Structure 1
Amino acid sequence: MNRIGFIFSSLLFVLAIASSMLFVVDQRQFGVVFALGQIKEVITEPGLNFKLPPPFQNVSYIDKRLLTLDSTDNEPVLTAEKQRVVIDWYVRWRISEPTEYIRNVGTTEAAGASQLNRVVRNAFQEEVNKRTVKELLSAKREEVMQDVKKEVLSQVRGAKPWGVDVIDVRITRVDYVDAITESVYRRMEAERKRVANELRSTGFAEGEKIRADADRQREVTVANAYRDAQKFKGEGDAEAARLYADAFGRDPQFAQFYRSLDAYKSSFSKKSDVMVLDPSSSEFFKAMRGGVAVTAAPKK
């Protein structure tokens, strides 16, 4: 029984030693083998690999993928016209030479990102100091990014190369500091209010002009209509008078009788009307007394 336990324990020990000598490198990583603190080997291809068990050899992994570094510093930068602006940016970079990276930067991606952030920030500050706000917001923005990229590459490829490649540098935002931004917004708001008030005044003046013109046209139309109505009325009255004159001229006695009837009708328009006259001597009732003989008009 003791012999079986010994064999089993030995087998477990051998398996533990074997597992410590085997390691897998992922396709997204570099495998760096250290021997007593010194870089022994850098494995760039994915797969199963062998090394000596600890403490003779150890392995660490470094990301080989394209990494993104975003700006985290909101410290304002002065432009050529001494305007304080805040710039947001990002950098796309990768570790290309693990040996140089570990020797000159560190063993983690965070170490490289920290140092790269400092270099990019200084490069942006230097380039922004040479340009105006208008240039940063115009077509020269691309030129600024290219110049920053060149400056960063010259730093990371200097006397002690970092073993990294800077693929791209991009500006995501250029803005004034909060105090200036608030002032700019207030000026913009005041300008918009001025334009709005000017438009309202112009619209009110145009409205008054349109209303005055409409009133004038209404008065002219009403006057013309009244003139035409009076003209037509006068023509009608003239025509009626002519017809009356023509008809009454043919039979004067009938005309007198007809006018007397109109006078009676006007005098006694209501049942309560009272008229005090002497029928025997008044000419008003002459037609009723038969003083006017109504004769027919002669036939022609």
Structure 2
Amino acid sequence: MRKLMIPVLVVALALMLMSMFVIPEGERGIVIRFGRVLTDDNQVSRIYEPGLHFKMPLFDRVKTLDARIQTMDGRGDRFVTSEKKDVIINTYVKWKIEDFRQYYLATGGGNALTAQALLERKVTDVLRSEIGAREIKQIVSGPRNNDVLPDSADSEEVTTEAARQALEIDGERDKIMVNVLKDTRESAMKDLGVRVVDFRIKKINLPDEISESIYRRMRAERESVARKHRSQGREKAEVIRAQAELEVATLLAEADKTARVTRGGADAKAAAIYSSAYSKDPEFFSFLRSLSAYKTSFSDKSDILVLDPKSEFFRYMNDMNGAPVK
């Protein structure tokens, strides 16, 4: 009897341990029995909160699912606008499991990658419909009254030329996000058992080939504006230069006029002085002029003068009184 008790105790202990399970914090558990999710008397799935719980050993299998809000950071995808222009849009979605039974069945056993793939497909389909009904300038621009959505996340980055016209148009970017959130939330809850908490457009880009053509057009426009400014600058420079030259010519003319008037007055005064001096002693004045002429004529020894000794030039050399030579 004692020998049978030990195996019985071991089996009982093993069954007890097999019947116990723990749900970690932040997760929820469902019990699968014969491939079906256990429900209560009201046919509602039994959801096990974090803590210690019990199940039927050997027949029940526990599946734990993440009950926290999860983020699906979508890769950039290409969409076509109503103008038949391509845009590349990056988005992200915040979601959490609401109906654990539906989620388990729809994702093939609670596979998170399958859930994200299905949810991403739903978001992309709705977003493609919204983008296809709008022009690019409406997509990249927000409302002019700067309204924001509730539970707004980080600011979006827009790197397209149409962003320059955002202040001139009524943008519908926020409206697109609201519509996508609403439509996706309904279908995701129905089909996947998840609740879409938030949807945001992170970034809107143009394809490289389109961006390059836009940059070339922008560069040509800036070069045209630069040429216009340079032409206007040259025109103003010519006007300023002409005005400066006119002012210089006017100043020079006035200065020359003043100089001539001053010089004329000085010459008149000098002539008056000479005339006054000459009238006081004409003979002495004539003598000084002759001496100055001698000094100038005989300053260079190599000069040769061929003159008549009795000429008027040698008047004071022949006679100290300056009498005319006969």
TM over 0.5: yes
Q: How big is the alpha-carbon RMSD for the aligned residues of Structure 1 and Structure 2?
A: 2.9
Check whether the contact 1:51–1:57 (CA below 8 A) recurs between aligned residues.
yes
In the alignment, structure 1 residue 37 sits paired with structure 2 residue 67? no
**Residues 34-64 of structure 1: CA deviation (Å, up to 9, x unaligned):** 22322234212x23333344x3222222112
Aligned to 2:321: 291
The structure-2 alpha-carbon separation of the partners of 1:15 and 1:185, relative to structure 1 and needing over 3 Å to count, comes to: farther
Aligned to 1:141: 173
Gaps of 5+ in 1: 294-300
Aligned length: 282
Deviation at 1:32, TM superposition (A): 2.3
Check whether the contact 2:78–2:86 (CA below 8 A) recurs between aligned residues.
no
Aligned to 1:102: 104
Deviation at 1:16, TM superposition (A): 6.1
* Amino acid in structure 2 at the alignment position of 1:283: E
Aligned to 1:296: none
Aligned to 1:201: 231
* Amino acid in structure 2 at the alignment position of 1:116: L
- Mean Cα displacement is larger for which, 143-152 or 252-261? 252-261
Deviation at 1:152, TM superposition (A): 0.9
**Residues 230-265 of structure 1: CA deviation (Å, up to 9, x unaligned):** 222222111111111112222212211122122222
- Mean Cα displacement is larger for which, 145-154 or 181-190? 181-190
Deviation at 1:120, TM superposition (A): 0.7
* Amino acid in structure 1 at the alignment position of 2:48: I
Check whether the contact 2:139–2:173 (CA below 8 A) recurs between aligned residues.
yes
Aligned to 1:86: 88
**TM-score normalised by structure 2 residue count:** 0.75
**TM-score normalised by structure 1 residue count:** 0.81
Deviation at 1:142, TM superposition (A): 0.6
**Residues 263-287 of structure 1: CA deviation (Å, up to 9, x unaligned):** 22222233333323343x2222222
- Which one of the candidate residues 260, 283, 288 is aligned to 1:253? 283
Gaps of 5+ in 2: 39-45, 144-171
Aligned to 1:232: 262
CA distance in 2, matches of 1:197, 1:259: 72
Aligned to 2:117: 114
- Mean Cα displacement is larger for which, 267-276 or 240-249? 267-276
CA distance in 2, matches of 1:186, 1:218: 47
Aligned to 2:59: 56
**Residues 142-193 of structure 1: CA deviation (Å, up to 9, x unaligned):** 11111111111221244xx532111111112333344333322222222222
The structure-2 alpha-carbon separation of the partners of 1:73 and 1:251, relative to structure 1 and needing over 3 Å to count, comes to: closer
The structure-2 alpha-carbon separation of the partners of 1:245 and 1:11, relative to structure 1 and needing over 3 Å to count, comes to: farther
CA distance in 1, matches of 2:214, 2:223: 14
CA distance in 1, matches of 2:304, 2:203: 104
* Amino acid in structure 2 at the alignment position of 1:80: S
